[in-house]
């Protein structure tokens, strides 16, 4: 039997999310040693010592199911955001929460809006539940940052069937961002039947004065959902911990579809400890600021254009097929990310690494470009 015919329509044509290649796979494939990975926007410093200690302690009790509601973590996050604990929805990474949102508010006959070049999970979540995606063109650079979200274009797509608008701020893979004023105006103008999701996975890295903490808008914007993660600046990508902040009414809906024990006990303990490790977070942010400058200066020296980024990555234009340069870099033991699946076939997305990793990447890139 062709089992494809048994799948629901949205899944039949769905393409799986393709993560960055692991170092072990590269070394196995090409017989390479001492490879570096700058492909998945991970923190090059890793987890802080407080998070690691808490994880080790929690591991001793791993035969027990985790605390299903994430009580202690949610209480701590509620304090951080100035909301009630029942406004927090824990997730197995923020991707898990994005999937919950799609399952609660989307389905056949309704629509979701997101931008061109936006995070790849949005189309996957929308298509999987049978909803219709409306994709707004990004700025072309004439009246806004090239490749950035064009809020006017997104607003023009809102209609009676719209149920969710996804906005990544800053956006992955472009690193572009939206200022508080224009974003607040956009959210306020949406009709009541539209939920707006502000994905702030890279929030901690942004130092721009006009960049907003949209979780502070919830009292005035009941149709707002803000998502965050511990995978990036907190260095806990392998443990999968994220969350949403929303009105308690929305959180209660999300909890109806949230899988039991979706955040394991080790991840909960590590995330809780990471929130208290201010020194590690500050070190991670400082390292990233230096690395962004190092990579940007390197691209300029090589005559390559790139997109100004406020995240922990930069998208660089190779001037040709990025897939070819990606393969050449792999054979030199350097993993980055081609982003043709984001509609950017000439760009590579490069995660900020340690200074020596950034330097090695730039040296190898110069070789393969030649």
156-166 b/e (C-beta count within 10 Å ≥ 16 → b): eebeeebbbbb
Question: What's the pTM?
Answer: 0.94
Beta bridge partners of 229: 242
The pLDDT, as a whole number, for residue 53 is 98
DSSP string of 236-284, one letter each residue:
-TTT--EEEE--HHHHHHHHHHSPTT-S-HHHHHHHHHHHH-HHHHHHH
The set of residues, in sequence order, having a beta carbon less than 8 Å from that of 217 and lying 6+ positions away, is: 184, 187, 224
Query: Distance between CA 172 and CA 41 in Å, rounded?
Result: 9
In the structure encoding, which two tokens stand for residue 368, read together?
Answer: 């393969």
With H, G, I as helix, E, B as strand and everything else as coil, classify residue 86: helix
pLDDT < 50: residue spans in the chain: none
Residue 276 burial (CB count, 10 A): 14
The pLDDT, as a whole number, for residue 1 is 60
The set of residues, in sequence order, having a beta carbon less than 8 Å from that of 238 and lying 6+ positions away, is: none
In the structure encoding, which two tokens stand for residue 315, read together?
Answer: 């998208």
Domains of the chain: 3-46+279-369 (3.90.1150.10), 49-276 (3.40.640.10)
Q: What angle do CA 174, 175, 178 make, to 5 degrees?
A: 110
The pLDDT, as a whole number, for residue 18 is 72
Quote the DSSP letter at residue 219: T
Do the beta carbons of residue 107 and residue 86 sit within 8 Å? no
Beta bridge partners of 349: 315, 337
Over residues 235-267, the pLDDT tens digits come to: 999 999 999 999 999 999 999 999 999 999 999
Residue count of the chain:
370
Query: Distance between CA 6 and CA 30 in Å, rounded?
Result: 38
Q: Which of 167, 200, 204 is nearest to 186 (CA)?
A: 167
The pLDDT, as a whole number, for residue 12 is 73
Do the beta carbons of residue 22 and residue 37 sit within 8 Å? yes
Over residues 267-300, the pLDDT tens digits come to: 999 999 999 999 999 999 999 999 999 999 999 9
């Amino acid at each position: 039997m062709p089992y494809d015919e048994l799948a629901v329509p949205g899944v039949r044509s769905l393409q799986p999310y393709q993560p960055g290649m692991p170092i072990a796979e590269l070394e196995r494939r090409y017989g390479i040693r001492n490879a570096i990975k700058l492909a998945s926007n991970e923190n090059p410093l890793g987890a802080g010592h407080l998070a690691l200690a808490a994880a080790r302690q929690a591991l001793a009790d791993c035969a027990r199911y985790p605390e299903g509601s994430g009580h202690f973590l949610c209480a701590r996050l509620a304090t951080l955001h100035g909301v009630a604990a029942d406004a927090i929805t824990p997730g197995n990474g923020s991707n898990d929460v994005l999937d919950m949102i799609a399952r609660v508010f989307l389905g056949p006959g309704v629509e979701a809006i997101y931008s061109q070049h936006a995070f790849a999970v949005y189309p996957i979540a929308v298509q999987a539940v049978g909803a219709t995606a409306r994709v707004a063109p990004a700025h072309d650079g004439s009246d806004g940052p090239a490749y950035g979200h064009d809020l006017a274009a997104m607003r023009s797509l809102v209609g009676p069937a719209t149920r969710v608008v996804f906005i990544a701020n800053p956006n992955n893979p472009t690193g572009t961002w939206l200022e508080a004023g224009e974003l607040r105006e956009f959210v306020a103008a949406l009709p009541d039947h539209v939920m707006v999701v502000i994905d702030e996975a890279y929030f901690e890295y942004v130092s721009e004065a006009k960049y907003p903490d949209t979780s502070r808008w919830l009292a005035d914007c009941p149709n707002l959902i803000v998502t965050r993660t511990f995978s990036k600046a907190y260095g806990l990508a392998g443990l999968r911990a994220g969350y949403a902040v929303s009105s308690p009414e929305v959180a209660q809906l999300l909890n109806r579809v949230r899988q039991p024990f979706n955040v394991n006990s080790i991840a909960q303990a590590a995330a809780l400890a990471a929130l208290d490790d201010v020194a590690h977070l500050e070190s991670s942010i400082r390292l990233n600021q230096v690395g962004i400058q190092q990579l940007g200066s390197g691209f300029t020296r090589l005559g390559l254009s790139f997109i100004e980024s406020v995240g922990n990555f930069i998208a660089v234009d190779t001037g040709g097929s990025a897939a070819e340069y990606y393969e050449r870099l792999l054979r030199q033991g350097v993993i980055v990310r081609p982003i043709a699946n984001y509609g950017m076939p000439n760009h590579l997305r490069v995660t900020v690494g340690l200074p020596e990793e950034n330097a090695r990447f730039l040296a190898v890139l110069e070789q393969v470009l030649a």
